[in-house]
Amino acid sequence: MPLSRFRPYGTVRQLVTTDPRDLAAASQALFGWSAGQRASRLREAATVAALEQVRPRRERMRALVAGQDGRLAWRRVLAPPPPGPLGATVHPIAMATCDLDRALVLGRTPFPRPLQLGHECVAEVVAVGSRVRTVRVGDRVVVPFEISCGECGACRTGLTGSCRAVPPASMYGFGLAGGHWGGAYADLVGVPFADAMLVPLPEGVPPAAAASLADTVCDGFRHVAPHLPRLLERDPDAEVLIIGALPARYPFSVSTALYAGLTARSMGARRVTFCDARGQVREEAARLGLEAIRPAELRRRDLAPLVVDISGSPRGMRTALAKTAPDGVCSSVGTLRHSARIPASLLFIRNVTLHIGRAHTRTLIPRVLELVTTGALRPETVTTRLADLDDAPEVLTDHMATDATKTVLTTG
């Protein structure tokens, strides 16, 4: 089945095709509870960049940058400063593409370019601060994509994606929008809270298999794991319905949806249905043991007690909600659009629970690692290409130009 081909938007076309209401909503969310802190970080980054132009002092390193035109290239950028007492510096050894990366690089999102790319990785610790206790130099660790301190009220209750010590949505690989934390396709990454964030990789788990635990594997897991045991207890044949892309050409990748299907299988679900308009995606889902159907076939399907919406679109969310059974759950990744219409009266009558949001990845990684370590969950089966990090510009340019699922790069 041939892959779709995509071309990147330039800056002007990105601005013209971005709904101002989407941009306004994203800006409001990013400044959220800590506008002053985010503004301070922006000023600090601008000041450091200006001073380095006049009097260079910081060491440089290699990092993969997505330019304003969507082209990927190695650039010499500032290396992270030496870690503070609570921090660490890590060297990525296995890096994976996220489902959002293609849209991000192509200019199909409100997030501005240029930016240092990448937010899924396993890394080796190369330096630690004086107060770090749980990791040491030489350890291999999973680096969650979200920044979290481990000490604030949100972190202590497991809501690490909403850490109050940093501005909202502080994360690697999103440039200005994520808060200037750098990207994973780089020689070094700074980790501000090493004990809180870094999760040691168990012996026997290959770094390439675990790289996406930093985001998409955990994202797929959290759509299923909190709900499925109760549903299977009520009905051992309860169906899990996963909604991917509804149009045949769609820039978002599909790995999260496949990881959700694998999670459901690992937890004992007998019926896992995977809906996607893309033929090669359905082939991948079928290869993984999922029942793959076209969107047109949904009309003839019964309602499902657990529906997972990974479409990223308002249309996909409405479709998922319409297919959720009475007293069922619809778990959605949401959408970058500023709003989406939902069938409110239908949900009320059916008593449907809808959950939208990001995963609290750091909290989930140990639970998912247990499944990976036992072999119950095998993320590597979703990977469609393995390559060397040195070839990143060419390999990832090819990945972004097609609707390939998952590319993992490793260091020699």
Which CATH number is correct for 11-212+381-410, 3.10.20.30, 3.90.180.10, 1.10.3720.10, 3.40.1410.10?
A: 3.90.180.10
pLDDT of res. 412: 73
- Give CA–CA dist 333/358, Å, rounded: 7
Q: How far apart are CA 110 and CA 119, in angstroms?
A: 18
In the DSSP assignment, the letter for residue 20 is: H
What are the sequence ranges of the domains in the chain? 11-212+381-410, 219-356
Q: What is the pLDDT of residue 52?
A: 61
Q: How far apart are CA 297 and CA 241, in angstroms?
A: 12
Phi, psi torsion values for 272, nearest 5 degrees: -125, 115
Could you read off the pLDDT of 260-286 as tens digits, one per residue? 999 999 999 999 999 999 999 999 999
Determine how many CB atoms are found less than 10 A away from the CB of residue 187. Answer: 17
Q: What is the pLDDT of residue 384?
A: 95
Task: Kindly report the number of other CB atoms within 10 A of residue 17's CB atom.
Answer: 10
Of 41, 358, 88, 116, nearest in space to 197 by CA: 88
Residues of the chain with pLDDT under 50: none
**pLDDT for residue 16:** 75
pLDDT digits (tens, 9 = 90+) for 85-114: 999 999 999 999 999 999 999 999 888 899
Q: What totals of helices (H) and strands (E) does the chain contain, helices first?
A: 16, 16
Structure confidence at residue 33 (pLDDT)? 64
Please state, in angstroms and rounded to a whole number, the distance separating the CA atoms of residues 288 and 350: 32
Question: What CATH number was assigned to the domain covering residues 219-356?
Answer: 3.40.50.720
Q: What is the pTM of this model?
A: 0.93
Task: Return d(Cα 110, Cα 338) in angstroms, integer.
Answer: 11
pLDDT at 19: 76
**Strand 140-143 and strand 271-275: pairing?**
unpaired
Q: Looking at residue 102, what is its pLDDT?
A: 96
Query: Measured on CA atoms in the order 97, 101, 105, 111, is the torsion positive or negative?
Result: negative
